[in-house]
Amino acid sequence: MIRRAADALGAILTAIALAGATLSLVAAAAAGDMPALKDLSATRERPLFDPSRRPPSPPPPPPAPAEPTKEAAAEPMPPAAPTMPPPTAKLTGVIIGGRTSLAIFHEATGSKSVSLKVGGDLEGWTLVEIESRKVVVEHEGERVEMELKTAEQSGGGATPGGGTDDGDMLDQ
């Protein structure tokens, strides 16, 4: 029992000493007697959390850019590969639902409407995004935004019933 009391008293005295040391550091800091942070270099020279206790080595300098040779500068650049022309179909509608979103296109060459989900094919382009007023199609890394036009912007009027008479087709 006496041993436990002695251990408890030792712990209390240690806590009081630590609290006194902390208070003296706080008082010294308040009085302006503490060294400036830039003068405390020991933790920079011997980092606490690095097992080697050595500062990290500086990063290597970036490589110098290579000088182009006269031969390389004289050679013309090869012509860029021809890109696929953007789709000619017109975006005529967007339906955004809980789990399914659809983009509705009117083919430029006919009178047929096509409905596509993300991942669907439109004239060789893949539908990758559907938003409320636009869609994005992609072909070999090239992206094209197609905006939904209003009746005034497209130069036509609205049809009764808001659609076409030929029926819609849903591509998977």
How many whole angstroms separate alpha carbon 131 and alpha carbon 137? 12
Count of CB atoms situated within 10 Å of the CB of 108:
10
Average pLDDT over residues 102-122: 90
- Comparing 9-13, 23-27, 80-84, 98-102, which segment has the lowest mean pLDDT? 23-27
Best CA proximity match to 102, nearest among 119, 87, 85? 119
pTM for the structure as a whole: 0.44
Class of domain 90-158+165-170: mainly beta
Best CA proximity match to 84, nearest among 139, 4, 144? 139
Percent of the chain with pLDDT over 70: 65
Average pLDDT over residues 48-72: 74
The pLDDT confidence band at residue 166, using thresholds 50, 70 and 90, is very low
| All structural domains of the chain with their residue ranges | 1-56, 90-158+165-170
CA-based end-to-end distance of the chain:
81
Per-residue pLDDT for 121 more than 90? Answer: yes
Give one DSSP letter per residue of 26-37, joined into a string: HHHHHHT-SPPG
Position with higher pLDDT, 125 vs 13:
125
Token pair 């706080």 is found at: 26
